[in-house]
Amino acid sequence: MDPKTATTLRQALAYAQSIVDTVREPLLILDGALHIQTASRSFYSTFGVSPEETEAHFICDLGNGQWNIPALRILLEEVTSKGKSFRDFEVTHDFPRLGRRAMLINARKLWTEENDSFLVLMAIEDVTERKRIHEELVRSNEDLQRFAYIAAHDLRSPLNSARNLSRLLARRTEEKLDEQEREMLRTSLASLDRLSALMNDILTYSETGNAPQQLRLISLDDPLQIALANLKHHIEDNGASITVGPLPEVRSDRTQMVMVFQNLIGNALKYRRPEAPHLRIEAVQEGGGWRISVADNGQGFEAVYASGIFEPFKRLHDKSIKGSGIGLATCKRIVERSGGRIWAESVPGQGSTFFFTVPARPEILV
């Protein structure tokens, strides 16, 4: 190495060292041959090693071989040869002093004024605790879903019996009860009906998260027409008009797509303004997939609620409008399981537009 290059490299190392020693996460600085030039204080303290055990050593020879991973070496060599950076390469290993830990590795090339001399900055983040918490949350969520499904399923039979007996009682005693008593019975029946609808919605929500998706090439107009047929009387009762633009053919689950359209259209009819509802449904090609929109002229909502409305049981309106708050959560679950996304835009008093995407090649999420 000529003197000028050596001086440049020493200056770069000194500059890099002043930076890495201020960062909490462990950092390594490698040369073009993947030998360690220096490490941060955090690296030494985290892994319990000394500079003598670290500096000038080949990255794959450190410790008990925890970094001797072929895929990691290939990525690092691409950093040195092609200037590529990489993020979040996961390493799970039994580290001395630390035990079994999960680490995320990020690396990028540090350019110097001399193109023939460079360094590689490698950052190491311990995500063991984050992964543990995430896995516990996933297990807890799965347990909660199973409990909700079992509870809803097991309660449906006695609930239906209570509804049928209450209706029978109402018919047999209608002439014997005074108006106040009849009103109490009507209220009781209405409560049982709402509870039954809630149970069915919980079962539907649970099933959409666990049932395999039957993907096949379909025209989106097919599930839309089924949804419109299911909502025919509701549409007529509200005097609604629905305009539909050309819809594409996509690979999707027809039954679940019916549920998405039915929930979005049903919501538009439910949260209407005094004037007759008007809906516009159309599709726009977006990248390799499609963006579908369902726009209405209904009540709308404040932008701050745009993400929260897709949470289970989240409702923005009072109980005078029937609903369980699970419909949009079901839509979100269906769309995201197919690798798409769903969101909403709205202006209070002017209407809302719900968007969802259908990827060209759906990625099934389980």
Answer yes or no: is pLDDT of 278 > 90.
yes
Residue 188 is which amino acid?
S
The predicted-structure confidence for 217-235, as pLDDT tens digits, reads as follows 889 999 999 999 989 888 9
Q: What is the mean pLDDT of residues 310-335?
A: 70
**Taking CA 231 as the corner, what is the angle to CA 229 and CA 235, rounded to the nearest 5 degrees?**
110
What is the mean pLDDT of the segment spanning 26-45? Answer: 88
Neighbours of 218 (CB within 10 A): 16
What pTM was estimated for this model as a whole?
A: 0.50
Q: Give dist(CA 81, CA 32) in Å, integer.
A: 8
| Structure tokens, 71 | 């895929």
**Domain spanning 213-366: CATH superfamily:** Histidine kinase-like ATPase, C-terminal domain (3.30.565.10)
* pLDDT beyond 90 at 141: no
| Extents of the domains making up the chain | 3-126, 128-211, 213-366
Fold type of domain 128-211: Helix Hairpins (1.10.287)
Residue 348's pLDDT band (boundaries 50, 70, 90)? confident
DSSP 138-157: HHHHHHHHHHHHHHHHHHHH
Homologous superfamily (CATH) of 3-126 is PAS domain (3.30.450.20)
Q: In the chain, pLDDT over 90 holds for what percent of residues? A: 17
More confident residue, 246 or 13: 246
